[in-house]
Amino acid sequence: MKIIDGKKIANDIKEEIAQEVAAIREAGGKIPHLAAIIVGHDGASETYVGHKEKACNQVGFNSTVFRFEDDVAEDTLLRRVHDLNEDPEIDGFIVQLPMPKHISEQKIIEAIDPKKDVDGFHPINLGRMVIGLPAYISATPAGIMELIKRYNIETLGKDVVVIGRSNIVGKPMSILLGQKANPGNATVTMCHSRTKNLKEVVLRADIVVAALGRAEFLTADMVKEGATVIDVGITRVKSDKTKSGWKLLGDVKFDEVAEKAEYITPVPGGVGPMTIVSLLQNTLKASKGEIYPK
């Protein structure tokens, strides 16, 4: 059994990006600049945006955060989005979700210029990904694909089962792994709450992506010997064994599944650390015009 060390890979990639930014700086080029819009004072959102700013600093990107109060008008946000679309200094930007109820998240997302949509949530980027055209891939799927690449996990002709059909993980993962590409070319089955014979289906999988959001759902009896197990879940539960009084659980019952798996991602330290790195990679691509020529 080998643990897929997302933390290490994330640090490696940050180091690679930092070197590239240093070279850009040396050559007098434009430093990549990521902006974020955050509304209100949701604790988790604040934390995420804080992590993103810190990551930008680590690799040498410029970063700007635009803060709005909970009662901001939708029009005000849309104006900010339009300004960022037009601002040549900003290479890419994200709108931290969730938004307050009176704001249409979809309207805001669709107002973002797809060329600067480094979260990959705009339907154009999703549609281009489905067709196999260059597109910003959203952070979690992009991070998982990067882990698969860096650990040389074979996907061609493999039976993959994705558990969960969310728009930001399950669906894009199914599409990416079935795509004519490397990694890709797998035979993918997407399971969800209405799947009838889940255990039987998952037992056939060479690679399992657990992304349903239920703590320790995937148990050893559901996993084939030698499978690769990617755990996307993060559930915070109370614990009297940690200083903070909390611990994080994945969708996989790690200890028992690890004994059967060939590769497995831990929680924390697996897929999680990759998400911010994916955002950095997308921002670098944006600044270089790699997805959409400038």
List of residues contacting a copy of itself (CB under 8 A): 106, 122-128, 130-133, 156-157, 159, 165, 167, 171, 174-175, 178-180, 185-192, 194-197, 201
The angle at the Cα of 194, spanning 132 to 223, to the nearest 5 degrees, equals 75
Which runs of E-coded beta strand occur in the chain?
Answer: 2-3, 33-39, 62-68, 92-95, 159-163, 187-191, 207-210, 228-231, 235-238, 246-249, 263-264
**DSSP 8-state symbol, 203:** H
Q: Which amino acid is at 155?
A: T
CB of 138 to a copy of itself, least distance (A): 12
Nearer to a copy of itself, 46 or 110 (CB): 110
- Contact (Cβ atoms closer than 8 angstroms) between residue 78 and residue 49: no
Q: How, if at all, do strands 246-249 and 235-238 pair?
A: antiparallel
- Contact (Cβ atoms closer than 8 angstroms) between residue 276 and residue 139: yes
What three-state secondary structure class fits 26? helix
Of 212, 200, 172, 166, nearest to 188 by C-alpha is 172
CB of 229 to a copy of itself, least distance (A): 19
Nearer to a copy of itself, 148 or 175 (CB): 175
CB of 31 to a copy of itself, least distance (A): 30
Nearer to a copy of itself, 178 or 273 (CB): 178
**Catalytic-labelled residue, pool 14, 52, 115, 224:** 52
Distance CA 139, CA 126 (A): 12
CB of 113 to a copy of itself, least distance (A): 13
CB of 279 to a copy of itself, least distance (A): 19
Of 232, 242, 220, 239, nearest to 272 by C-alpha is 232
- Is 96 an annotated catalytic residue? yes
**Catalytic-labelled residue, pool 5, 91, 117, 119:** 119
**Catalytic-labelled residue, pool 5, 14, 91, 96:** 96
Which runs of E-coded beta strand occur in 69-167?
Answer: 92-95, 159-163
Nearer to a copy of itself, 49 or 160 (CB): 160
What three-state secondary structure class fits 62? strand
- Contact (Cβ atoms closer than 8 angstroms) between residue 99 and residue 105: yes
CB of 49 to a copy of itself, least distance (A): 24
**Catalytic annotation, residues:** 52, 96, 119
